């Protein structure tokens, strides 16, 4: 986008509101009405969760997820202190927020045991493990098992990757996590089925809680586009940390076929190159995408925004979007934060049929296209843009799903799960997703 | 942005019955709080908040209720909730606020619980 566009959009009141949450209200009461403050402190529930994961300013999806989840949960528990056990490389200095109370050195096995000791000696009630093979040290991130073995408090694992064809070591790790943890959370039913069928996880230990999405109320794309100075354009978009597995080149190759029918379409590729990818191959993937657009003569219709976008910026761009596209290449992908966000904004979505997309876009919430197929993408996008009723019905269905998955609802599901585990109640399997 | 909360007020002596329909969240809770505080300042002593048609309430909605509780407490009033849905009840239960704001399935039970007094 041009600088002019950036300035204009700042004036639009399309942002996720700052909320005066229960936690803020209670803090205010401490100075305004001490007796009511004390009454609430004695009466309300207290759960002190810790989260072991990567954490901002680390740039990765799990770090963002952990911040969103822990913040959302904390809003309901004004008398509890959340803790983050942040996993990082030993030599990196991260300016963490105060909520990070322990730093786990990724490749240092002893650091995981020390983290467990820290939790054991604290008032922490339960640990939420955010699991993805790559974020922990050791082969396939197996050091997380050293943490869990040394932990004397209950733990819940949220699995961000559930492979259908794991290596023997990956399978062992997931099975061990399943054995030690009180419960494993996945974000779609398919993930739970894989856990039961491939990993033989105890069905009583596997539950579904959707990926959280920001609380965004619906707004018409046209009003946002006016503010962006692109009122006459139809917008396709893809956002997130850019890497080769995203398959963005297939959307770019679909563009000429889309432009034939809809010459005013612009495809926005929003977000910077994944830092891990940038370290190894620089901007070669993004350069390839730009070259492809140039070879096709559609540079004006494919625009890149190569930087980290704030939540409000993302929401503005998503609100301006007519069709959101996730052209990802891996069938096994079991979650996608960006797709979840697009659902939350009530967008018409077109996606390749990876496992997460297949499930969350069912029942008219989106349309699936073939992997690596510009023709399939073009046909579907044209269909959505040609058919106003279809587009509106997809948007309405996506939004309804997104409301149930808003972070404030997901936080309640997690708190309910934590509470049940602490009080040793039976975990309701699939409880959250049944409500969708 | 759309404001997805309808608020309707009924008067019963010094009790004000507030019907909420929609979502009580970061977009709508400020307006809910404002109306609640106005009702208390205008002579409402007890509030019955009917949430049977509330789809979701978030922590800002709970915060608004605590703000209202502070104001009614100054007048020895109460706030009680009417809700017959598990989702709303769960939010109060997990926070422990069901011990602060009694929840009733039926509105008439909630009205009885606060005890209607004649408006002066």
Helix (H) or strand (E) holding A35: helix A34-43
Alpha helices by DSSP H, listed for A240-336, are 248-261, 275-281, 284-295, 311-320
The predicted structure's pLDDT at residue B88:
95
Q: What is the mean pLDDT of residues A332-341?
A: 91
Judge: B58–A20 Cβ closer than 8 Å, yes or no: no
- Does position A8 have pLDDT exceeding 50, yes or no? no
Return the structure tokens found at B76: 């020895």
User: What's chain A's Rg over C-alpha atoms?
Assistant: 22
Contacts of A408 in chain B (CB under 8 A): 25, 56, 58-59
How confident is the model at residue A178, as a pLDDT?
97
For residue A4, the model assigns a pLDDT of: 33
Nearest CA in chain B to A316: B1
The answer to whether residue A92 neighbours chain B at the CB level (below 8 Å) is no
> Which is more confidently placed, A244 or A129?
A129
Is B5 within 8 Å of B61 (Cβ atoms)?
no
Closest chain A residue to B24 measured between Cα atoms? A408
> Matching CATH topology for A45-212+406-434 and A221-404?
yes
Extract the tokens encoding B38.
């106005």
Work out the number of other CB atoms within 10 angstroms of the CB of residue B115.
Answer: 12
| Predicted local confidence at residue A422, as pLDDT | 92
Subunit contact A219:B2, Cβ cutoff 8 A: yes
Cβ contact A98:A55 at 8 Å = no
Report whether pLDDT(A11) > 50: no
Nearest CA in chain A to B5: A217
Contact A17 B27 (CB under 8 A): yes
In a 3-state reduction of DSSP, which class is residue B13?
coil
Candidates B98, B105, B8, B88; CA nearest to B54 is B88
Measured between CA atoms, how close is B36 to chain A, in angstroms?
A: 15
pLDDT at A210: 95
Whether A217 sits inside 8 A of B4 (CB atoms) is yes
Report pLDDT for B117: 65
Cβ atoms within 10 Å, residue A364: 12
- What integer pLDDT is reported at residue A195 of this predicted model? 97
- Beta-bridge mates of residue A406: A213
- Give the per-residue pLDDT at B118: 58
State which residue of chain A sits closest to B60, comparing Cα positions: A21
| B34 vs A: CB within 8 A | no
Which region among A304-318, B13-27, B86-100 has the lowest average model confidence (pLDDT)? A304-318
How many Å lie between the alpha carbon of B94 and the closest alpha carbon of chain A?
A: 6
Nearest Cβ partner of A76 from B26, B95, B99? B95
Helix A388-404 with A374-386: angle, nearest 10 deg: 100
Residue A15's pLDDT is 67
A217 close contact with B: CB closer than 8 A: yes
Q: Pairing relation of β-strands A155-159 and A183-186?
A: parallel
Q: With 50 as the cut, is the pLDDT of residue A9 above it?
A: no
Residues of B with Cβ-Cβ distance to A77 under 8 angstroms: 95
Q: Which residues of A touch B29 (CB under 8 A)?
A: 19-20
Residue identified by tokens 């809910």 is B32
The minimal CB distance from A45 to the residues B30, B62, B94 is found for B94
Angle at A263 between CA A257 and CA A264, to 5 degrees: 130
Write out residues 86-115 of B within 8 Å (CB-CB) of A: 87, 90-91, 94-97, 99-100
> Domain limits of chain A?
45-212+406-434, 221-404
Write out chain A residues lying below 8 Å of B101, CB-based.
Answer: none
Please count the residues of chain B.
120
A412 touches chain B (CB under 8 A): yes
A358 — pLDDT class (breaks 50, 70, 90): very high
CA triple A149-A172-A84, angle to 5 deg: 45
Q: How far apart are CA B71 and CA B101, in angstroms?
A: 14
Architecture in CATH of A221-404: 3-Layer(aba) Sandwich (3.40)
Instruction: List the one residue out of A402, A404, A423 whose CA is nearest residue A412.
Output: A404
Minimal Cα–Cα distance from B4 to chain A, Å? 8
Quote the DSSP letter at residue A46.
-
Contact indicator for B66, B96 with CB cutoff of 8 Å:
no
Q: Which domains does chain B have, with CATH numbers?
A: 5-114 (3.30.750.24)
Q: What pLDDT was estimated at residue A132?
A: 95
Q: What is the mean pLDDT of chain A?
A: 90
| Residues B58, A40: C-beta atoms closer than 8 Å | no
Q: What does the pLDDT read at residue B10? A: 95
Interface contact flag, B99 A13, Cβ < 8 Å: no
Contact B59 A23 (CB under 8 A): yes
Structure tokens at A363: 């029942």
Report pLDDT for A2. Answer: 35
For residue A18, the model assigns a pLDDT of: 73
Contact A22 B62 (CB under 8 A): yes
What SS3 class is residue A247? Answer: coil
pLDDT band at A240 (very low <50, low <70, confident <90, very high): confident
Least confident window among A26-35, A123-132, A376-385: A26-35
Give the CA angle between residues A51, A54, A59 to the nearest 5°: 140
Q: What is the pLDDT of residues A274-287, one digit of tens each?
A: 877 888 888 899 99
Tell the burial category of A168 from Cβ atoms under 10 Å away from its Cβ (0-12, 13-18, 19+): exposed
Contact (Cβ atoms closer than 8 angstroms) between residue A11 and residue A227: yes
CA-nearest residue of chain B to A404? B56
Distance of CA A351 to the CA centre of its chain: 16
Contact A412 B99 (CB under 8 A): no
What tokens does A145 get? 């098992």
Confidence of residue A406 (pLDDT cuts 50, 70, 90): very high
How far is Cα B79 from Cα B115, in angstroms, rounded to an integer? Answer: 12
* Pairwise CA distance, residues A166 & A164, whole Å: 6
The percentage of chain B sitting over the pLDDT mark of 90, rounded to a whole number, equals 81
Question: What is the pLDDT at residue A226?
Answer: 85
Number of other residues whose CB lies within 10 A of the CB of residue A79:
17
A426 has pLDDT over 60: no
**Closest by CA position to A385, among listed A348, A358, A360, A357:** A348
Per-residue confidence (pLDDT) for residue B101, from 0 to 100: 97
Q: CB of A85 within 8 A of CB of A50?
A: yes
Q: What is the pLDDT of residues B48-73, one digit of tens each?
A: 999 999 999 999 999 999 999 999 99
CA gap B98, A44 in Å, rounded: 9
Residue of B nearest to A416 (CA): B94
**pLDDT at position B116, please?**
67
Please enumerate, as own/partner, the contacts of A87-95 that have beta carbons within 8 Å and a separation of 24 or more.
Answer: A87/A52, A87/A53, A87/A54, A87/A55, A87/A135, A87/A136, A88/A54, A88/A58, A94/A55, A94/A57, A94/A58, A95/A57
Where does A75-167 have alpha helices with state H?
Answer: 109-120, 143-150
Please write the tens of the pLDDT for every residue from A51-101: 999 999 988 889 999 999 999 999 999 999 899 999 999 888 888 999 999
Closest Cα in chain B to A435: B87
β-pairing, B5-12 vs A367-368, is unpaired
CATH code for the domain defined by A45-212+406-434: 3.40.50.2000
Alpha helices, H only, A188-234: 189-199, 221-228
Spatial separation of the C-alpha atoms in residues B117 and A434, rounded to whole Å: 43
Cβ–Cβ pairs < 8 A, chains A and B = 101
pLDDT of residue A17: 72
Please state, in angstroms and as integers, the Cα–Cα distance from residue B52 to each residue in B88, B89, B107, following that order.
9, 10, 9
Q: Cα-flanking dihedrals φ and ψ of residue B102, to 5°?
A: -60, 140
Task: Tell me which residue in B55, B63, B99 faces A25 most closely, judged by beta carbons.
Answer: B63
């Amino acid at each position: 986008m041009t600088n002019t566009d950036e300035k204009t959009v700042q004036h639009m009141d399309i942002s996720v509101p700052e909320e005066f949450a229960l936690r803020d209200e209670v803090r205010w009461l401490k100075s305004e009405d001490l007796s009511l403050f004390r009454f609430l402190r004695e009466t309300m529930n207290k759960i002190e969760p810790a989260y072991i994961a990567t954490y901002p300013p680390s740039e990765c999806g799990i770090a963002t997820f952990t911040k969103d989840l822990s913040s959302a949960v904390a809003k309901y528990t004004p008398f509890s202190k959340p803790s983050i056990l942040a996993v990082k490389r030993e030599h990196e200095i991260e300016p963490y927020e105060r909520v990070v109370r322990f730093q786990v050195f990724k490749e240092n096995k002893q650091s995981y045991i020390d983290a467990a000791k820290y939790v054991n000696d604290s008032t922490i009630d339960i640990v939420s493990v955010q699991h993805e093979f790559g974020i922990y040290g050791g082969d396939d991130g197996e050091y997380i098992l050293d943490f869990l073995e040394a932990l004397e408090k209950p733990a819940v694992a949220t699995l961000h990757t559930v492979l259908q064809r794991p290596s023997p070591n990956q399978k062992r790790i997931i099975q061990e996590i399943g054995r030690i943890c009180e419960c494993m959370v996945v974000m779609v039913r398919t993930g739970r089925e894989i856990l039961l069928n491939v990993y033989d996880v105890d069905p009583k230990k596997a539950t579904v809680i959707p990926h959280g999405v920001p609380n965004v109320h619906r707004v018409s794309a046209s009003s946002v586009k006016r503010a962006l100075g692109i009122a006459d354009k139809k917008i396709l978009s893809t956002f997130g940390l850019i890497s080769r597995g995203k398959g963005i080149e297939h959307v770019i190759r679909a563009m000429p076929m889309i432009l034939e029918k809809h010459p005013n379409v612009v495809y926005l590729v929003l977000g910077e190159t994944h830092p891990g990818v940038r370290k190894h191959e620089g901007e070669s993937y993004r350069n390839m995408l730009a070259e492809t657009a140039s070879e096709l003569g559609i540079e004006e219709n494919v625009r890149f925004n190569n930087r980290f976008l704030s939540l409000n910026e993302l929401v503005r761009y998503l609100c301006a979007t007519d069709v959101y596209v996730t052209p990802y290449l891996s069938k096994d992908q079991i979650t996608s934060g960006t797709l979840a966000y697009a659902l939350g904004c009530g967008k018409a979505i077109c996606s390749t049929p990876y496992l997460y997309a297949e499930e969350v876009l069912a029942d008219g919430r989106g349309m699936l296209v073939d992997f690596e197929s510009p023709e399939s993408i073009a046909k579907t996008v044209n269909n959505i843009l040609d058919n106003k009723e279809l587009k509106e019905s997809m948007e309405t269905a996506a939004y309804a799903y997104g409301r149930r998955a808003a972070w404030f609802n997901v936080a309640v599901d997690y708190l309910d799960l934590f509470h049940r585990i602490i009080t040793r109640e039976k975990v309701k399997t699939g409880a959250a997703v049944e409500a969708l | 942005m759309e404001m997805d909360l309808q608020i309707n007020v009924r008067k019963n002596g010094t009790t004000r019955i507030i019907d909420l329909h929609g979502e009580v969240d970061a977009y709508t809770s400020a307006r809910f709080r404002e109306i609640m505080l106005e009702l208390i300042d205008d002579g409402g002593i007890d509030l019955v908040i009917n949430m049977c048609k509330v789809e979701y309430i978030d922590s800002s909605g709970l915060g608004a209720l605590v703000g209202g509780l502070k104001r009614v407490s100054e007048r020895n009033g109460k706030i009680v909730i009417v809700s017959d849905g598990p989702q709303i009840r769960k939010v109060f239960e997990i926070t422990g606020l069901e011990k602060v704001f009694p929840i009733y399935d039926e509105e008439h039970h909630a009205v009885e619980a606060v005890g209607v007094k004649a408006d002066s």
